[in-house]
């Protein structure tokens, strides 16, 4: 299936901000959004209530003698911007190609994080079965269909969904791809708890993060010669309607949810500022990711 032609690269959302993140900025946003936090975890559909397993937290990896405590990581903060999926995939491939050329040299000392949102698109992973996973005529798709080289099946990306693409040499982090997937899940679980008091979990045999029996974050990766790319998609304020026209990740008996939906339900439906929710999710994901992977972020201007 051929992808549609990509629109001009890096279409900016109307609420664009400078690509900068600091502890002070995060703290200010956190203080401003204090009233958004959920005080009563009992109001949420927890994993325990649903009888789902909750894995033990993964500790940061041990640091070998003589190795720097934190690995450098360049970060491109576009988390309020809308970027076409074709541009994001091309960007990742270019970073991977550069990093593979530097592998095993003294210059290979950094990782990369890219945070952004996508314009509406159905992303088809390598295991997608079109006839079974798409519940519409592909000749009249409600959104663009785009094949990607990650594992997994079909999912939806759109505004309000925080997408984070880590590009890591997982061998340098002493991980195989299974431990890496569990680590990405752990980052999201910790971030949801710290920013929103949401109790999320894993489901045995499935990849992703769940609140009760609904998936709040999808994860899909590709690993080439130890280099991992693609990553995670967290439903923050996402319109969930497009998920009804597919079998998300090939899972027929479970639904999807968003942070906004959970927070509103726990606060009697009061209106919540979407931008604040996305900012809080981004800040928390960055904090938990750098902590679990022992990274020191170095922010770069967008390309």
Q: Which residue has the tokens 């600091």?
A: 22
Rg of the chain (C-alpha set): 19
Beta bridge partners of 124: 147, 154
The reply to whether 11 belongs to the active site is no
Q: CB count, 10 Å around CB of 10?
A: 16
Partners of 246 in the beta sheet? 134
Tokens of 137: 């005529």
Active-site position among 73, 89, 249, 257: 249
From CA 239, how far away is CA 157, in angstroms rounded?
10
CA nearest neighbour of 117 among 238, 30, 200, 259? 238
**Token pair 């708890």 is at which residue?**
193
The residues annotated with a catalytic role in the active site are 249
């Amino acid at each position: 299936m051929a992808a549609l032609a990509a629109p001009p690269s890096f279409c900016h959302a109307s609420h664009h901000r400078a690509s900068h993140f600091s502890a002070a900025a995060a703290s200010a946003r956190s203080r401003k959004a204090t009233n958004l936090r959920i005080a009563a975890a009992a109001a949420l559909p927890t994993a325990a209530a649903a009888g789902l397993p909750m894995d033990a937290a993964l500790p940061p990896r041990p640091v070998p003698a003589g190795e720097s405590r934190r690995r450098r990581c360049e970060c491109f903060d576009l988390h309020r911007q809308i970027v076409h999926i074709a541009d994001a995939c091309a960007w990742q491939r270019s970073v991977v190609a550069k990093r593979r050329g530097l592998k095993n040299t003294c210059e290979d000392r950094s990782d990369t994080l890219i945070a952004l949102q996508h314009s509406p698109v159905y992303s088809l992973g390598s295991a997608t079965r079109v006839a079974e996973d798409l519940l519409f005529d592909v000749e009249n798709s409600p959104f663009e269909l785009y094949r990607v080289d990650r594992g997994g099946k079909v999912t939806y990306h759109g505004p309000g969904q925080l997408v984070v693409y880590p590009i890591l040499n997982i061998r340098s982090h002493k991980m195989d791809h299974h431990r890496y997937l569990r680590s990405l899940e752990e980052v999201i679980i910790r971030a949801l708890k710290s920013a929103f008091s949401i109790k999320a979990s894993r489901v045995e045999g499935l990849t992703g993060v769940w609140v009760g029996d609904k998936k709040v974050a999808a994860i899909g990766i590709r690993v080439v010669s130890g280099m991992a790319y693609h990553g995670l998609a967290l439903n923050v304020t996402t319109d969930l309607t497009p998920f009804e026209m597919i079998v998300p990740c090939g899972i027929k008996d479970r639904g999807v949810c968003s942070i906004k939906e959970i927070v509103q339900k726990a606060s009697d439906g009061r209106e919540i500022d979407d931008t604040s929710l996305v900012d809080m999710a981004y800040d928390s994901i960055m904090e938990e990711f750098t902590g679990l992977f022992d990274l020191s972020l170095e922010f770069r201007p967008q390309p």
